[in-house]
Structure 1
Amino acid sequence: MEKIDILSLDLDELAEILTSIGEKKFRAKQIFQWLHVKRVLDFDKMTDISVQLRRSLNEIFCINRLFVQKRLESAIDNTVKYLYRLSDGNFVETVLMEYSYGYSICVSTQVGCKMGCNFCASTIAGYVRSLTASEILMQIYEAERDSGKSVSGVVLMGIGEPLDNFDNVMKFLHLLSHKGGNDMSLRHVSLSTCGIVPRIYELADMKLQLTLSVSLHCADNEGRSEIMPVNKKYDLPSLIEACRYYIDKTGRRVTFEYAVIDDVNSSSADADKLAKLLRGMNCHVNLIPVNKVRERNYHTARSGVAEFAKQLGRRGINATVRRTLGSDIEAACGQLRRDAAQQNEKNGGADT
């Protein structure tokens, strides 16, 4: 019988399984705290439960592990990038970032990405599968264990499209915010999507109070479809309508991510289109210098990003330029995973 991934279970699910094998319901809370507060990786270390129950846990459950394949630390700003190897030999990336208010972590939600955005490294090595709730959660636990730092904010902006892995991401958020475990307010969580419109409506109705970040990157329908294939299925007008619904339903401001790409979306006319598109919305525009990707020819002049921000400001749109972190360690998601996957292929599929 295949063992159950215990870290992906919420407290009620764990209690149901334990009571089905004749254990008291309160045992679930003890075990849940061992896993999510004390962060043990071995059932035998749960010293306040009986040897017999620990034996039963080992027979029924597994604790899903991630293994640090590579760790890069920036000499510029203390950003740490992790390449994790999963139990099946696949790889994902996580970035731990230091800010004046504490530490934030950018986690991946899938192995690869199927969205195909032209300027993104995450999609180049291909999509393999979605991560489980425990595999998303363990990116935080392992980074905290390795660094000795406590994470106060989470960004779902790594490899993968979170809303394409909706159920596992929602389970992750439930576990992250559970009062018996991490007890993190979802106001400290930002979820980034390229625009899976039906899921935005569903997320809005859940009223989780997290920050919705929408990867916009172009303010006209035709241009967005050229660089973001998802726009051919969920076009710009329907995306903006969904964002307005999210704002109305949750009372939360939406962040629009906009990678400023020279000769693609950075002109004065583009600023006009973006201002017209967003005028009157409770939103913020986060301008991003596009990351260099070996297989792509997109580039951004830093001065061009600052100028684009000024143009938006003159048009009444609140915009800032994202602070670039970990530039000396290629902290943009997708590059380490792609290289590791290629090396794995050279080695005949063996774990490296």
Structure 2
Amino acid sequence: MKRNLLNYQYEELVEQFGILGLERYRVDQVYDWVFKKKVFDFSAMTNLSKEHRRLLSENFDVLIPKLLDMQVSAIDKTTKFLWELSDGKTIESVLLFHPDRVTACISTQVGCPVKCVFCATGQSGYDRNLSAGEIVAQVLAMELHRKVNIGNIVFMGMGEPLLNYEEVVKSVRILHNPKGKGISMRRITISTVGIPEKIVQLAHDLPEVKLAISLHAPTNYKRDQLVPLNKKYSVEEIIHAVKEYQRITKNRVTFEYVLIREFNDFADDAEKLAELLRGIGAYVNLIPINPVQSTGSIILERPQHWALERFKEILEKHNVECEIRREKGTDIDAACGQLRRRHLLNAGKVERKV
């Protein structure tokens, strides 16, 4: 049975190639074709002998997802991809263009089991974890289709990365390897709703990778209503884990805070958030909520502009560094999960809520 070459770290491939009688430098040659030239067919790797190409073709595949849909923003070039995996499951990825860099926002699960009330991904259900190779392949596929060089990666697409911990860590190491993509660890961010024990483990396994916490509320009462997993891992447990993470890594931590009108955008919320983050090297991204159909009792509307500014001013008064995130891709289905959900609705694979 063929194996996905992208599921292997470099040294693992050296071992696998050795079993086939291939020298170490053959891995370098294949890596150059796959990661630099975006050639995924062994028969086209012309600096390998015909016998070696045949041998690799019989034992490995380089599985790149099939492009089902691609939306490109006319405003800022933000590009949203819908991919089909080898088993027919679908996932999303996003390319974000900045003046000095291109960032890939990639998925780690098919769907998401966390089911945050404001996230379209959770509304379409959860199927399975992605393999390390399926995570890595998103980066290669985006570079292929948009002819770009991705220099930054955020694990902030579909799924909760820390619930697929081993494959996420493996994919980071594959993407970091200088013989492959060679992306600096400090240009990789893992975003999580907060799995305390995995946050601490991440500090030991990948201390240079950046951490972002999707917090969205400063109290358990409000966060319970937004993030169901908070009933298992409280705000206090997450903050304790973040402090331990910082003790080990000395890294500043980003906190994502989706603002919802007249729910978590009050002055009191800002005061409590500032108190919660006291003593933490923190940076807060304030995110006006993306329009998405509500699945609960909370009315998911964007805050008024003055409420956003008030929230920011209160945090800054308490010396909490923050910014109101400038939106990208507002003219396309840029919010995570929207493109996939529309595809599944059209295929009749998820229930249409009225």
Q: Considering the TM-score relative to the shorter chain, is it more than 0.5?
A: yes
Give structure 2 stretches of 5+ with no counterpart. Answer: none
Q: How many positions carry a matched residue from both structures?
A: 346
1:244 aligns with 2:247: no
Structure 1: runs of 5 or more not aligned: 348-352
Equivalences for 1:17-32 in 2 at 5 Å?
17-32=16-31
What TM-score results when the alignment is normalised by the length of structure 2? 0.94
- Give the 5 Å matches for 1:142-181: 142-181=141-180
Select the residue among 321, 324, 341 that pairs with 1:321.
324
After the TM superposition, list the runs of 4 or more consecutive aligned residues in structure 1 that deviate by more than 4 angstroms. none
Q: Is the 8 A contact 1:289 1:302 kept in 2?
A: no
Deviation at 1:100, TM superposition (A): 1.7
CA shift in 2, pair 1:346/1:218, >3 Å: closer
Distance 1:317 1:25 in 2: 50
Conserved 8 A contact 2:169-2:206? no
2:162/2:195 contact within 8 Å kept: yes
Counterpart CA distance in 2 for 1:101 and 1:155 is 16
Deviations 1:256-314 (A, max 9, x none): 00011112111111111101100121111110011111244311125122221112112
Deviates most, 308-317 or 124-133: 308-317
Code of the aligned partner of 1:299? E
Pairing of 1:37-52 with structure 2 (within 5 A): 37-52=36-51
| Alpha-carbon separation, structure 2, partners of 1:149 and 1:302 | 37
Cross-structure match for 1:227: 226
Shift of 1:104: 1.0
> Are 1:7 and 1:35, in contact at CA under 8 Å, matched by a contact in 2?
no
Measured on the aligned residues, the alpha-carbon RMSD in Å equals 1.5
Match of 2:189 in 1: 190
Structure 1 match to 2:338: 335
TM-score by length of 1: 0.95
Structure 2: distance between partners of 1:202 and 1:276: 26
AA of the residue aligned to 2:24? K
- Calculate percent identity across the aligned residue pairs: 38
Aligned position for 1:70? 69
Partners of 1:290 and 1:299 within 8 A in 2: yes
Paired residue for 1:83? 82
3-state SS, counterpart of residue 336 of structure 2: coil
User: What secondary structure sits across from 1:103 in the alignment?
Assistant: strand
Report the secondary structure of 2:67's partner residue.
strand
Give the 3 Å change call, closer, same or farther, for CA 147–137 of structure 1 in structure 2: same
Question: For residue 303 of structure 2, what is the aligned residue in structure 1?
Answer: 301
Name the CA distance, whole Å, in 1 between partners of 2:165 and 2:38: 25
- Is 1:70–1:83's contact at 8 Å kept on the other side of the alignment? yes
Distance in 2 (CA, whole Å) between partners of 1:166 and 1:346 is 28
In 1, Cα distance between equivalents of 2:252 and 2:213: 11
- CA separation in 2, counterparts of 1:105 and 1:23? 33
Query: Are residue 214 (structure 1) and residue 201 (structure 2) matched?
Result: no
Moved more, 128-137 or 318-327: 128-137
**Alpha-carbon deviations, 1:296-343, whole Å to 9, x = none?**
431112512222111211222211111100011020110111111222
SS at match of 1:213: strand
How far did 1:32 drift? 2.5
Q: Give the whole-Å Cα distance in 2 for the aligned partners of 1:7 and 1:207.
A: 20
The residue type equivalent to 2:35 in the other structure is H
Report the Cα distance in structure 2 between the residues aligned to 1:346 and 1:239, rounded to whole angstroms.
Answer: 35
Conserved 8 A contact 1:111-1:127: yes
Give the alignment of 1:266-305 within 5 angstroms.
Answer: 266-296=265-295, 297-303=299-305, 304-305=307-308
Q: What is the SS of the residue equivalent to 1:96?
A: strand
What code does the residue aligned with 2:48 have? I
Distance in 1 between the 2:62 and 2:338 partners?
28
Matched residue type, 2:87 = D
Contact 2:220/2:230, CA 8 A, preserved across alignment:
yes
Residue 263 of structure 1 corresponds to which residue in structure 2? Answer: 262
User: Counterparts of 2:66 and 2:309 in 1: how far apart (Å)?
Assistant: 39
1:346 deviates by 6.4
TM-fit CA distance, 1:208:
3.3
Whether the 8 Å CA contact 1:90–1:341 is kept in 2: the answer is no
User: How far apart, CA to CA, are the structure 2 residues paired with 1:114 and 1:207?
Assistant: 24
Note if contact 2:285-2:325 (Cα within 8 Å) is conserved in structure 1.
Answer: yes
- Rounded Cα–Cα distance in structure 2 between residues aligned with 1:170 and 1:195: 16
What whole-Å deviation, never above 9, does each CA across 1:80-116 have from its counterpart, x for those lacking one? 1111111211111111111121211111111100011
